[in-house]
Amino acid sequence: MAETSNWAFPATLQPDPAQTRFDLESAFDSVVMLRAEIPEGAFTAAILGTERAGNGVVIREDGLVLTIGYLITEAQSIWLATNRGTVVAGHALAYDQASGFGLVLPLAALGVRPLARAPAAAAVPGAAAIVIGHGGRAHSLKVKIVAKREFAGYWEYVLDNAIFTAPAHPQWGGAALLGEDGRLLGIGSLLVQEAVGGRAVDGTMFVPVELLEPILEDMLALGRPARAPRPWLGIYATEVDGQVVIGGLAPGGPAERGGVALGDLVLEVAGERVTGLAALFRKLWSLGPAGTEVALTVSRRGALQRLALRSADRSDFLSKPQLH
């Protein structure tokens, strides 16, 4: 579990403990390395791989680790490593598809202090922040919060107020975004392009930690939030010239079974015109829980196709972790 490279950000880009109002060294140690192994036959293996590596953040005194869920989805084994060299096995305790958060229970003591979580109003566009990856100061980066806005992901995913920062952190998955007071603002999810100063720069999208508060106890008790599962079609869609295009299909998913094809332009959901990716997913979710029938109108090579799909619960397609 040792680092495979000795890379470091230039010193001018690293946070300076002398210029922070909190215990920066302790915060560094609260971010752990996470490695997960996924069976080759797992549903997500073809897209996300069978070996996944990223970060996790200790958020409770018992060592509970918060990370981004795609790192641990269908994991058969998880290992956590601290900056001080402690390595312990972990158990994929919970995953919330709506937020994208995952929780890992360490199976032995990590010996680090947890990070406090910030309220929603703490992430302010224009404010300075710090992104921490496993490896301490060398792998931590001074950033600016450049925006807080809606984000729609092609995998049937929408956040109302995702946090966007720049410059980008190269090990964004599960990284910790800290505000100026040292509290946790978000968990790293994606590399994105942001407009800063009239030019496009690489940035990082973070899932706001505020989304964890209403669901944490359910996730600990049930492995997922108590709300009814959202309907899922198994489409990978994108916006091209203002139109929603099907770019991929989950094997055996409702869309593939229901006759959706690559390249289809999605025009309507349940008779309502589709105006964008977020609108498509929100309309789908408004129809009812998983299992609801979904009427989809698509354009295929210029001809209209009206399809009736039976939505599903995405988690039914995923293998479940076993506690060793």
d(CA 244, CA 310): 20
Domain that holds residue 265: 235-317
d(CA 129, CA 10): 17
Picking from 164, 189, 224, the residue at the C-terminal end of a domain is 224
Residue 195 confidence (pLDDT): 67
% of residues, the chain, pLDDT over 90: 91
Q: Who's near 11: CB < 8 A, 6+ residues apart? A: none
* Claim to verify: residue 164 and residue 292 sit in the same structural domain: no
Residue 1 confidence (pLDDT): 38
* Claim to verify: residue 266 and residue 180 sit in the same structural domain: no
* Claim to verify: residue 132 and residue 87 sit in the same structural domain: yes
The tens digit of pLDDT for each residue in 238-275 reads: 998 889 999 999 999 999 999 999 999 999 999 999 99
More confident residue, 121 or 194: 121
What letter does residue 175 receive in the DSSP assignment?
P
> pLDDT confidence of 2, banded at 50, 70, 90?
very low
Which of 263, 283, 67 lies closest to 158 in space, CA to CA?
Answer: 283
pLDDT of residue 55 exceeding 80, the answer is yes
| H-run or E-run covering 51 | strand 51-58
CATH value at residue 195: 2.40.10.120
- Does residue 323 sit within a domain? no
Residue 199 confidence (pLDDT): 78
For the segment 50-65, the average pLDDT, to the nearest whole number, is: 97
301: left (phi over 0), alpha (psi -120 to 50) or beta: left
More confident residue, 175 or 201: 175
Q: Scan for tokens 């995913």, then name that residue.
A: 157
Q: Who's near 107: CB < 8 A, 6+ residues apart? A: 88, 89, 90, 91, 324
What average pLDDT does the structure give for the chain? 94
- Does residue 28 sit within a domain? yes
Picking from 181, 204, 224, the residue at the C-terminal end of a domain is 224
Q: How many domains does the chain have?
A: 2
* Claim to verify: residue 193 and residue 132 sit in the same structural domain: yes
Picking from 163, 189, 224, the residue at the C-terminal end of a domain is 224
d(CA 164, CA 209): 13
d(CA 154, CA 239): 9
CATH value at residue 276: 2.30.42.10
Residue 323 confidence (pLDDT): 53
d(CA 97, CA 312): 13
Residue 3 confidence (pLDDT): 45
* Claim to verify: residue 202 and residue 312 sit in the same structural domain: no
Q: 167: cis peptide before it, omega within 30°?
A: yes
pTM of the predicted structure, to 2 decimals:
0.94
- Does residue 324 sit within a domain? no
Least confident of 4-8, 166-170, 241-245: 4-8
